[in-house]
């Protein structure tokens, strides 16, 4: 009996999960299009699309809303909703804004968590719409931060992130400044928002940080008699910035806002400024000590507030620097102290003096170097007696003399070495003849 051969039915290739989701997304948008009259209205399209999506997602579920789905079902729903958003953007006859309106409706009318999840990973949504989604009151700062990375334009992303940071700082100002708590945690919380110590920050961020530190310092002074806590916050605002931004006065204003009566009605700005000046001295000396002992240079920060120091404030800074250097076994010389005062007054260390110092250190003959060094302070004092326009010429002359002296010594040393090479060693036995 002849065998019968039956043609095996060819199986259609199984569609991928993504293909199925994309197909369902297109069907949902198609259904929405058929049921609206005003196809040019993003709002109407978005509302009908959400209704179709919700009916599709909950068709085989015991719940009626996306928000009521189980976590596993929500994850699947997010994939579909994200695909729907993409379809709304890709459809030429539907305004792009419909995608943004669709996500807004998810957040406002059904499920914020699902809507944010869609927006968070849908960077294909135009920046303008993502911005509108972020500004929905229901979203909040934490959820908005999840969406921000999807914004493509750098300046827009930076601006929005700054506004979110300001909102978080404002909350700290309102809720966390008037309580005595762990300062390390308090500082860390703010650094997590504004970035590490020394990070570049905008003017608005700096002003908000100033307000926070001022209010917290004012509250400490109010709660603990005469306790000025400003130096606890130098990781947030450097001592120099505290001076330039007149933090003592800002603290005073916040203190007055506490409506304090009686003998403690005024904040002690003078003591506060003194403590900040001491903090400047700490930083200056720390940087000085960290340098190589052979080439240390004391650098006073460029600061308008420091330039305006009165005599008492100037002496406070100089004396604190002297004491801290002494404590670190590197006492300052007279010309170094004068250099500090010159920098406080805005006179920069002259290149001529630096050149003279470098040349002095390069002199190979120890006796000559010691002789010049012993009179170095006198030389600088003498130079300072001359008018400023002549000081440069004198130091230049001294530098030239020192350099030529050094060159001459090298030449003499080289000649002597060559002569020694040519002269044969004497016979030790000849000396007894």
> What does the CA dihedral 158, 162, 168, 173 come to, rounded to 10 degrees?
160
Highest mean pLDDT among 45-59, 67-81, 191-205, 316-330: 316-330
Residue 163: per-residue pLDDT: 93
Whether residue 283 is predicted with pLDDT greater than 80 in this model: the reply is yes
Task: For the full predicted model, state whether its pTM sits above 0.75.
Answer: no
User: How sure is the predictor about 234, in pLDDT bands with cuts at 50, 70 and 90?
Assistant: very high
Residue 261: per-residue pLDDT: 64
User: How sure is the predictor about 284, in pLDDT bands with cuts at 50, 70 and 90?
Assistant: very high
Whether residue 14 is predicted with pLDDT greater than 80 in this model: the reply is no
- 115 Rama class: left (phi>0) / alpha (psi -120 to 50) / beta: alpha
User: How sure is the predictor about 118, in pLDDT bands with cuts at 50, 70 and 90?
Assistant: confident
User: How sure is the predictor about 433, in pLDDT bands with cuts at 50, 70 and 90?
Assistant: very low
User: How sure is the predictor about 263, in pLDDT bands with cuts at 50, 70 and 90?
Assistant: low
Beta strands in 332-433 (DSSP E): none
Higher-confidence position of 39 and 47: 47
Whether residue 411 is predicted with pLDDT greater than 80 in this model: the reply is no
Q: Is residue 134 within 8 Å of residue 120, measured between CB atoms?
A: no
Whether residue 199 is predicted with pLDDT greater than 80 in this model: the reply is no
Higher-confidence position of 369 and 276: 276
* 3-class DSSP state of 394: helix
Percent of the chain with pLDDT over 70: 75
Q: Is residue 104 within 8 Å of residue 132, measured between CB atoms?
A: yes
Q: Looking at beta carbons, which pairs linking 85-90 to residues 24 or more positions away fall under 8 Å?
A: 85/118, 85/122, 85/124, 85/125, 86/25, 86/122, 86/124, 87/22, 87/25, 87/26, 87/29, 88/29, 88/45, 88/46, 88/49, 89/124, 89/125, 89/126
Mean pLDDT of 265-269: 82
Joined together, the tokens standing for residue 288 give 């000085």
Highest mean pLDDT among 53-57, 194-198, 420-424: 53-57
Residue 425: per-residue pLDDT: 59
Q: Which residue has the tokens 């002849």?
A: 2
Lowest mean pLDDT among 150-159, 203-212, 263-272: 263-272
User: How sure is the predictor about 8, in pLDDT bands with cuts at 50, 70 and 90?
Assistant: low
Q: Let me know the angle formed at the C-alpha of 129 by 126 and 132, rounded to the nearest 5 degrees.
A: 155
Whether residue 432 is predicted with pLDDT greater than 50 in this model: the reply is no
Question: Would you kindly state where each structural domain of the chain is located, as residue ranges?
Answer: 17-151, 153-267, 273-349, 350-416
**Mean pLDDT value across the chain:** 81
Whether residue 324 is predicted with pLDDT greater than 80 in this model: the reply is yes
Residue 359: per-residue pLDDT: 60
Mean pLDDT of 84-95: 85
Q: Report the chain's terminal Cα–Cα distance, integer Å.
A: 140
């Amino acid at each position: 009996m002849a065998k019968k051969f039956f043609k095996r039915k060819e199986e259609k290739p199984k569609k991928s999960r993504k293909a199925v989701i994309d197909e369902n997304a297109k069907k949902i948008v198609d259904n929405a299009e058929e049921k609206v009259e005003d196809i040019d209205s993003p709002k109407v399209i978005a509302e009908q699309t959400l209704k179709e999506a919700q009916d599709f997602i909950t068709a085989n579920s015991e719940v009626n809303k996306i928000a009521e789905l189980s976590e596993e079902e929500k994850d699947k729903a997010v994939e579909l909703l994200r695909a729907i958003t993409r379809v709304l953007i890709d459809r030429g006859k539907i305004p792009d804004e419909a995608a943004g309106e669709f996500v807004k409706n998810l957040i406002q009318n059904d499920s914020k968590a699902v809507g944010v999840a869609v927006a968070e990973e849908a960077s294909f949504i135009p920046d303008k719409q993502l911005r509108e989604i972020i500004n929905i009151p229901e979203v909040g700062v934490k959820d908005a931060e999840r969406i921000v990375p999807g914004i493509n334009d750098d300046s827009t992303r930076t601006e929005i992130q700054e506004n979110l940071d300001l909102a978080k700082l404002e909350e700290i100002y309102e809720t966390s400044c008037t309580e005595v708590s762990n300062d390390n945690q308090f500082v860390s919380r703010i650094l997590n928002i504004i970035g590490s110590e020394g990070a570049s920050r905008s003017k608005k961020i700096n002003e908000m940080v100033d307000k926070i530190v001022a209010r917290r310092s004012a509250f400490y002074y109010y709660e603990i008699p005469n306790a000025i806590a400003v130096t606890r916050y130098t990781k947030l605002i450097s001592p120099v910035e505290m001076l330039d931004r007149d933090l003592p006065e800002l603290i005073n204003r916040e203190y007055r806002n506490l409506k304090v009566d009686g003998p403690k009605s005024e904040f002690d700005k003078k003591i506060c400024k003194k403590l900040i000046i001491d903090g400047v001295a700490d930083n200056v000396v720390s940087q000085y000590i960290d340098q190589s002992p052979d080439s240390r240079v004391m650098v006073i920060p460029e600061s308008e507030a420091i330039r305006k120091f009165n005599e008492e404030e100037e002496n406070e800074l100089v004396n604190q620097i002297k004491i801290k250097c002494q404590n670190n076994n590197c006492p300052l010389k007279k010309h170094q102290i004068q250099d500090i005062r010159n920098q406080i007054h805005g006179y920069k260390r002259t290149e001529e003096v630096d050149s003279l110092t470098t040349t002095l250190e390069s002199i190979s003959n120890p006796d000559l170097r010691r002789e010049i060094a012993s009179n170095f302070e006198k030389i600088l004092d003498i130079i300072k007696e001359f008018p400023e326009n002549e000081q440069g010429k004198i130091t230049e002359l001294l530098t030239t003399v020192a350099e030529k002296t050094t060159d001459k010594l090298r030449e003499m040393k080289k000649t002597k070495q060559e002569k020694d090479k040519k002269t044969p060693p004497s016979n030790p036995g000849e000396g007894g003849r």
